[in-house]
Amino acid sequence: MRQNKKRTIVTAGLTAAIAAAAIGAAGCSAAPAQMPDTIRVENVEGAKDTITVTGQEEVKVVPDMAQIEYAVYTQGDTAEACQTENAEHLNQTIETLTGLGVEETSIQTSAYSLNPIYDWNSGTQNITGYEMTTRITVSDIPIDQAGEILSESVIAGINQVDSVSYFSSNYDASYGEALKGAVAMAQEKAQSIAEASGKSVAGISHVEEYGYNPQVRYSSYSGANKAVAETAAAAMDMAVMPGEVSVEAQVSVEFVIE
């Protein structure tokens, strides 16, 4: 808490006059200084009493959108054969996705790689074949279609599942609710502190927010580098359980008290 009220006396030349009077009293021959014509008195109001407190609120929301990241992995005796097989599975997967109603703008080839396979046990490190991985990210999936899309994609040729992530399209509304709760908590804390000091809260002078994260999500399944049979079985038996997404808001509020 701060309280500052100053009474400022503006006296142009007053200091010099006092000094001159003191010199004259000591018997010096210095000429007396001229006194100022006016003396202005000004009351300056300092900063008001304030207290700063923090508030935090958490809102749980059920996600309604999903994002799947998976891949097609193939091996072949030659680079061309490996790439051809990989492209076939990739095209089948894309056809399956569009057939299930997924927009092409929601399908992204996020990464791909083609590498030789070496026989590290031989002294000459001979190339025994090639391997290729094409990773696909499918976004903006309605939560009730995630299980079907994942299962059908595995049938089409997907044989690696990296992650299934869940999102809430209502994040902004939920965050707004959390913000209100955080400010309300801060107000309650400020009121308690003010009452303990014999004062009351008069208003808010400054607010800062923390923690805004519109990309909030969590992954409920991760199966990268699973064997084909394992991945297919996991996908076919997978029940989509999105749970809840936690939306948090934190604020720092400066209150005026009186």
> Which of the residue ranges 2-11, 120-129, 136-145, 191-200 would you say has the lowest mean pLDDT?
2-11
Q: What is the pLDDT of residues 36-74, one digit of tens each?
A: 433 333 333 455 789 999 999 998 888 888 899 999 999
Supply the pLDDT for residue 207: 93
Name residue, tokens 């308690």: 192
Supply the pLDDT for residue 47: 54
Question: What percent of the chain is predicted at pLDDT more than 70?
Answer: 69
pLDDT band at 126 (very low <50, low <70, confident <90, very high): confident
pLDDT band at 170 (very low <50, low <70, confident <90, very high): confident
Report yes or no: 226 and 178 within 8 Å, Cβ to Cβ. no
SS3 41: strand
How many whole angstroms separate alpha carbon 60 and alpha carbon 32?
80
Supply the pLDDT for residue 204: 92
Q: What is the pLDDT of residues 95-117, one digit of tens each?
A: 999 999 999 999 999 899 999 99
Supply the pLDDT for residue 64: 86
96 — phi, psi (to 5°)? -65, -45
Number of CB atoms found within 10 A of residue 102's CB: 21
Report yes or no: 112 and 135 within 8 Å, Cβ to Cβ. yes
pLDDT at 137 over 50: yes
Supply the pLDDT for residue 232: 45
Domains in the chain, CATH or no CATH each: 5-47 (no CATH), 67-166+230-239 (3.30.70.2970)
Residue 66's nearest CA partner among 169, 161, 152, 136 is 169
Residue 78's nearest CA partner among 112, 111, 117, 113 is 117
pLDDT at 125 over 50: yes
